[in-house]
Structure 1
């Protein structure tokens, strides 16, 4: 893979990120008759979803695909990403739940579930705009350091750092799942356009490594440098090392 054009990086005040990101999503929705949007969970994209909800736009023509899902949580668990998407996206945006897709973590054959998810994305025509956050260890979706840069949707083992970062959503570290299903880095790079949202000082080093360091498995998010249509929206704290 060859390095592509430099990303568009916009440093915005915290209150500006949601509306700016929503504008990009609304543009993507308007550009196709049946748009496909990839959605991320976590704290970084929350202002985006709030801004979309306040926009009053019609989202009924779109299909939505999640980046990842935990393995090992029972159906309906409040911290499963299926439930997070229900609370933050499906209900606020008035979406048809059947239009929002996640990889199935309850299948006996998890890799088969991953392969079917890849086929579902392809059958929808591919993702037009993929929303992303970044982990403080540089993970993208749940692609942890050390994995292949051309990976496809698969089972991933979560690092202790990632589990500790997500512990705030659970009763204890022991309650945080150790495995997940995640879109691969190659899957993410297939999207027509990427939107990365980074907020907070704890993301500054990861964002610097992703955008200014070498493209390396040690920083999975560095593959973003290989995509020709990347927009980064970061608050001053997250952008402080750029």
Structure 2
């Protein structure tokens, strides 16, 4: 794991965006694995700036999102489909047919998970996967457990995750309790991975990820076994290293 510690959130966002842009410039038809939440927002803003400055072109890029809430329609303002369109896709020239996000309203969720996994495999896997990390060490929605879930699957969300995500909803009762998520094997098959974290609340999870035992109780710890992971964090998130 390569560690980059920066002063603040803005520096983290800039550094991550430069790495994503480099990937696209070197391979214009890159397969990107994208994350949601607060952490990558700044990176997306930087990528939009680069696109507007004609520094990068997304016309041949394909994307696969890490996860989506179960039961939320694509048009729901809290869905990750909506998040991606508002915060990135509608501001760049990525083609609609090249965007892949799990369907949280699919009638047959098991079939949707298998189909999503196959679509990733048919593209040869993810070239560059962006990850955030939960306070409990989750990546995607792979929650602490006694085993690692391999492929795209339906997840029961951890209480800490529900509590953390409740800030996006009017009440904690509105937060979905399940989600579709890429599995650990899917993530680990990515050719390159960038893990982003910011703030003191992520310090313990970052310490366990980088210095702790490899255990499904800290899902992100599995990244120690990947041969090309860059961890970009601010000083607060690095405070326990």
Q: 1:36 — aligned with what?
A: 31
Q: 1:218 — aligned with what?
A: 217
Q: Tell me how far 1:224 sits from its aligned partner.
A: 0.7
Q: Tell me how far 1:151 sits from its aligned partner.
A: 1.3
Separation in 1, partners of 2:74, 2:120? 23
CA distances 1:47-97 after superposition (whole Å, capped 9, x unpaired): 111110111221111000000000112331000000000011101223222
Q: 1:54 — aligned with what?
A: 49
Q: 2:3 — aligned with what?
A: 9
Q: Tell me how far 1:123 sits from its aligned partner.
A: 1.3
Q: Are the aligned partners of 1:153 and 1:181 in contact in 2 as well (CA < 8 Å)?
A: yes
Q: 1:101 — aligned with what?
A: 100
Q: 2:178 — aligned with what?
A: 179
Say which SS state the counterpart of residue 126 (structure 1) adopts: coil
Separation in 2, partners of 1:143, 1:122? 19
* Gap regions ≥5 residues in structure 1: 1-6
Separation in 2, partners of 1:31, 1:126? 17
Separation in 2, partners of 1:111, 1:34? 29
1:45 matched to 2:52? The reply is no
Q: 2:19 — aligned with what?
A: 24
Separation in 2, partners of 1:147, 1:141? 17
Structure 1 residues 233 and 104: alpha-carbon distance in aligned structure 2, compared to 1, 3 A threshold: same
Q: 2:159 — aligned with what?
A: 160
Which shifted more, 12-21 or 57-66? 12-21
Say which SS state the counterpart of residue 216 (structure 1) adopts: coil
Which shifted more, 87-96 or 134-143? 87-96
Separation in 2, partners of 1:241, 1:110? 39
Q: Are the aligned partners of 1:139 and 1:220 in contact in 2 as well (CA < 8 Å)?
A: yes
Q: Are the aligned partners of 1:147 and 1:220 in contact in 2 as well (CA < 8 Å)?
A: no
Separation in 1, partners of 2:102, 2:219? 20
CA distances 1:94-124 after superposition (whole Å, capped 9, x unpaired): 3222211011211121011000001101112
Count of aligned positions? 236
**TM superposition score normalised by structure 1:** 0.95
Q: Tell me how far 1:150 sits from its aligned partner.
A: 5.2
